[in-house]
Structure 1
Amino acid sequence: MRDRVNDAEAKVVITCDEGWRNGGRVELKNFADKAVEECPSVEKMVVVQRTGGDVSMIEGRDIYYHDLIDGKSKERPATITDSEDMLFVLYTSGTTARPKGIVHTTGGYLVGAATTHRLVFDIKPDDIYFCTADIGWVTGHTYIVYGP
């Protein structure tokens, strides 16, 4: 995590208090805290309360997600962006070499995701769609987050 946050020069890290794995709790916030100790670009950490577990919050840096959105409108006007603006960075698996961050831009990527979702999957407005791919893989990321 540290390497990827530094590589992307991320200013904000979003994490959960804890997660669940094999019937037990995983201390995700503590993991994120340790990772960003060596990440000078990080200014804020947004913490989603998933389990309600007790976690340490660093004053001035950390904020709970529910506090961040409290009292805010649920609607936001669209933001105009350039087609070459960065949308996200997704890392290769690293099976043959060190993982590389692949930068995906807004225009071509979003048009491609929407077009293939419509033409390849033939999705209609009332269809129910399920994608088994992991959201951390480009297929899952494309067809869970952006395609629909």
Structure 2
Amino acid sequence: MVRRTGCETDWVDGRDVWFHDATAAVSDDCEPEWMDSEDPLFILYTSGSTGKPKGVLHTTGGYLLQAAMSMKYVFDYRDGETYWCTADVGWVTGHTYIVYGPLAIGARTLMFEGVPTYPAGDRFWQVIAKHDVNLFFTAPTAIRALHGLGDELVTRHDRSSLRIIGSVGEPINPEAWEWYHRVVGDGRCPIVDTWWQTETGGVMITPLPGAHALKPGFASFPFFGVEPALLDEQGAEIEGWCRIPGNQTILASPRFAPSTAIINA
């Protein structure tokens, strides 16, 4: 158990130990274990937003290569910079972009304990100013919530250290994107709007800062080695023009009828 907050603890003798006692005699050196590239690295469960959570196994070599490459090129990491991903390490974003990706390229990665609105709504911006954060990666839900609190909570803090800001976890609406770019990034920081999944382990679609034109709400281009494809329900690739069947209840609404969803594959 970690002595962190000073609160009373439900202690069970014979089961619980203090972390500082258990680690006092442990060496700082840790000899690495040599692994095969296809050896399992970890199993992480999907979020369950589209069905029952599924356990996803990522292997050592492929996952670490993707984590390192995407960390290096999506965020254009430079030696000595401070990078902060606000995710929880229990989710794949935290796994890949707090722990494995940054550490694989020797980056300085910031780990945050708490929520963006406690003890006040400027907590994120306070941390950025305190630690001179250069690269900042957070979720659209947080961006929208902080947008609703107003600009002053942001602008009262120095954010001149920021160079690149990013979005992860869900689509970001254009209004939130514009505010993020204009207020948080002072209109000068590129936004890397990323798309990926627990199953992929790392970024699949993203703009590259300085290389791609940015468009609010669009993740834009596939990352290196990624070839996007549309598949039908049988798993066959769809080529050319296709019609995507929507929810008939929704499409029957006067708001949408007689519109049709058509995309160019």
* TM-score, normalised by the number of residues in structure 1: 0.58
Amino acid at match of 1:70: A
Quote the residue 1:128 is aligned against: 82
Does residue 61 of structure 2 align to residue 107 of structure 1?
A: yes
How is 1:1-148 mapped onto 2 (pairs within 5 angstroms)?
47-148=1-102
Bigger Rg over Cα? 2
Matches of 1:136 and 1:66, distance apart in 2: 23
Matches of 2:10 and 2:85, distance apart in 1: 35
Amino acid at match of 2:42: F
Amino acid at match of 1:96: T
**Sequence identity percentage:** 54
Matches of 2:26 and 2:94, distance apart in 1: 30
Structure 2: where are the runs of 5+ without partners?
A: 103-265
Matches of 1:124 and 1:140, distance apart in 2: 20
Amino acid at match of 2:62: G
Please give the secondary structure, in 2, of the residue aligned with 1:49: coil
Please give the secondary structure, in 1, of the residue aligned with 2:98: helix
Alignment RMSD, CA only? Answer: 2.1
1:60 Cα deviation from its structure 2 partner: 4.6
Please give the secondary structure, in 1, of the residue aligned with 2:8: coil
Listed one character per residue, the Cα deviations across residues 71-109 of structure 1 (whole Å, up to 9, x for unaligned) are: 221121222122233322221111232212212222111
Question: Higher strand share goes to which structure?
Answer: 1
Amino acid at match of 1:77: E
Please give the secondary structure, in 1, of the residue aligned with 2:85: coil
Matches of 1:48 and 1:87, distance apart in 2: 26
Please give the secondary structure, in 1, of the residue aligned with 2:82: coil
Quote the residue 1:3 is aligned against: none
Please give the secondary structure, in 2, of the residue aligned with 1:78: coil
Residues 53 and 82 of structure 1, relative CA distance in 2, 3 Å threshold: farther
Amino acid at match of 2:35: T
Please give the secondary structure, in 2, of the residue aligned with 1:87: strand
Matches of 1:85 and 1:67, distance apart in 2: 33
Q: Which has the higher contact order (CA 8 A, sep 6+)?
A: 1
